[in-house]
Chains A and B, each alone.
Chain A
Amino acid sequence: MIASKKNVELVCPAGNLPALKAAIDNGADCVYLGFRDGTNARNFPGLGFDTKELDRAIDYAHNKGRKVLMAINTYPRPHQWQQWCQAIDRSASHHVDALILADPGLMHYAATTYPDLRLHLSVQGSATNHEAIDFYARHYAIRRVVLPRVLSLAQIKQVIKNTDVEVEVFGFGSLCVMVEGRCTLSSYVTGKSPNSNGVCSPAEAVRWEETPQGRRSRLNGVLIDEYAPDEQAGYPTLCKGRYQVNDNIFYAIEEPTSLNILEILPELIQAGVVAIKVEGRQRSPAYVASVTRVLREALDRCMANPDTFRVQPAWMAQLDKVAEGACHTLGAYHRPWQ
């Protein structure tokens, strides 16, 4: 489905109320957030909303004409089922604008209990092709899909051409290189995964060591990286460490870098993407403000006149300042990256 070019939404992260305000004040059309528990894929200490905060969040957003999307995008195990359903109940009673779900069990519950509540398929739902998207649309009437960060621009165009479901893509933030929803690297090492616990490479498993060779980062004992004295150390996300393969030591899976799609924004809009998502509910309100402001300006300019759209160096500089590894990539959108 090709969307109206005027309607591309900017969807920004809100880990807490100050971040939500930062997103809305700087031009987000939608904010996405989660409860303060394992029901969402950013279950980090100090993040998320309780019921009272959700009230204030929704008031703030709705008063300014913006939307609130509630992420309940982990996969409940049998003993967690009731709690996850209650999270859906609470969201529905607070009149969120949509639920972002990954588990078909929960989709069935939401679609039958609250048939008028709009459902989005989370990136954790691993839908990378139009047949998978059609599956969720037919059975649970999902209205929008968030695509995993593994498709090339040409593949995204192909998906959009073959589906009536709205397509949202990641535009900026930390780059997950795996098919989200199908990666258990984190639980293999730490016992906690995005699917089950809403965390990847959790902080509680991180240990830093100072050694004569330099600073080392470990995740539950596994050496993720070692930094020379003059090197900037990054958070030890386990797919962004340096490892040995054959005789080489290198970033064997992915460099610490951020995804940044500004260069291909006109093509994404032309392709019919309806929303651009910013990653980073775990990041500060200052990050959210900064990224939202840049993307708002870029989107507005691009929608006003895609033919003359040029990426401003100041935008890139601003985004690189807050980017993981202080650098950026087009990731899988750009075929040679793969």
Chain B
Amino acid sequence: MYFWNRQTVLDYYNMIAQSPVDIVYLGETVCAKRRELRGEDWLDLAAILEDAGKEVVLSTLSLIEAESDLAQVKRVCQNGRYRIEANDMAAINLQKPGTSFVVGPHINTYNSSMLAQMSDLGASRWVMPLELDDKSLTAMQQQRPENMETEVFVFGRLPLAFSARCYTARAHNISKDDCGFCCREYEQGLLLSTREQQSFLVLNGIQVQSARTYCLIDQLPRLEQLGVDILRLSPQLQGMTEIIDLVDQVRHHRLEPALAAESLNDHMPTGPCDGYWYGDPGMDIRGMDIQEKRL
């Protein structure tokens, strides 16, 4: 998701291969210009992860503009072996009809009719859009199509927006076409603050993320009750082993969510947020705040 150098990516997935993670989403989703790893490199990684017992899904770009972007997505869609995660309708259109796929978080699946459409086209899993709340998910789970898995983003900085413009390049006062891959300098993105030094957003090339880390760890029992099948963790360089371990313990009921939340706090560079889940502004904190007071 961030632009990491080749060795960092390989080390990261080597760590993932040893971790209790069940499913790995691989591939570049943000910027088509980032080519530290080529298509065959990703496939090699996929094979290693599969050998380690992981299910591999190949993710696709979230903003597809040029013909070369489309060609890149087409290659992923026609890999013939792994399921793909579609983050644009183009990826769904490029699939062989009836092929199983994952509806990514950047496809706007806001209601049951849309989910039924996706199911009819072969979708076997959907990732809840980040904006959606408990109330909407509850209703959508009640009308969920058969053989459709539900995945919820529970930890990480929120990918809030995509643009034609590269904001990392803009911060360096250079244009996207001459970016010199300056985003490589920011392994966890480039922080944007307000003029009163409130950490606000994170720039990651053409993507804008939240500075705060979305964390629904205290809602894992609720998600289980709603029949959510998969919990999504967004990658970060610092503390990922511990983050995975904490979430794994909570999902297996070996650790109290509140205790895990306290430990996860150490891995959030600018603190937590969970507002979207409660229908509040996304940057707000409700669940975590209550726990912090109690602890």
Contact = CB atoms under 8 A, between A and B. Distances in A.
B93 interface: yes
A5 B32 CA distance: 34
A105 B117 contact: yes
Interface string B106-131: 10101111101100010000000011
Contact of B108 (A102, A177, A185): A102
B110 A181 contact: no
A1 interface: no
A245 B282 contact: no
Given A106-B113, A135-B89, A226-B195, A193 B131 contact: yes
A81 B140 CA distance: 12
A150 B164 contact: yes
Contact of A108 (B113, B192, B210): B113
Given A184-B161, A332-B164, A189 B112 contact: no
A324 interface: no
Interface residues of A, number: 71
B32 to A, nearest CB: 12
B11 interface: no
A178 B131 contact: no
Given A243-B192, A338-B177, A129 B64 contact: yes
A177 B165 contact: yes
B219 interface: no
SS of B interface (majority): mixed
B223 interface: no
Contact of A182 (B162, B190, B275): B162
Interface residues of B, number: 69
A75 B106 CA distance: 13
Contacts, number: 209
Interface stretch (A17-25, A246-254, A278-286, A289-297): A246-254
B161 A178 contact: yes
Interface in A128-174: 128-132, 134-136, 138-139, 149-152, 155, 158
A237 interface: no
A75 B64 CA distance: 21
B252 interface: no
Contacts of B231: none
Interface in A90-117: 102-106, 108-109
Contacts of B258: none
B90 A223 contact: no
Given A132-B93, A243-B192, A191 B279 contact: yes
Interface stretch (B1-9, B197-205, B232-240, B259-267): B197-205
A335 B88 CA distance: 22
Contacts of A183: 160-162
Interface in B73-98: 73, 88-90, 92-94
Given A75-B111, A135-B90, A243-B194, A182 B132 contact: no
A335 B178 CA distance: 11
Interface of B: 62-67, 69-70, 73, 88-90, 92-94, 106, 108, 110-114, 116-117, 121, 130-132, 135-136, 139-140, 143, 158, 160-167, 170-171, 175-177, 190-198, 200-201, 203, 208, 210, 275-276, 279-284
Interface of A: 75-81, 102-106, 108-109, 126-132, 134-136, 138-139, 149-152, 155, 158, 177-179, 181-185, 187-191, 193, 195-196, 220, 222-226, 239, 241-246, 248-249, 252-254, 332, 335-338
The 4 closest A-B pairs by CB, nearest first: A105-B113, A150-B164, A78-B139, A131-B90
Given A129-B88, A149-B164, 17 more contacts: A76-B110, A77-B132, A103-B110, A109-B113, A127-B89, A131-B89, A132-B64, A136-B89, A179-B162, A185-B160, A188-B158, A191-B280, A195-B108, A195-B110, A243-B192, A243-B200, A338-B177
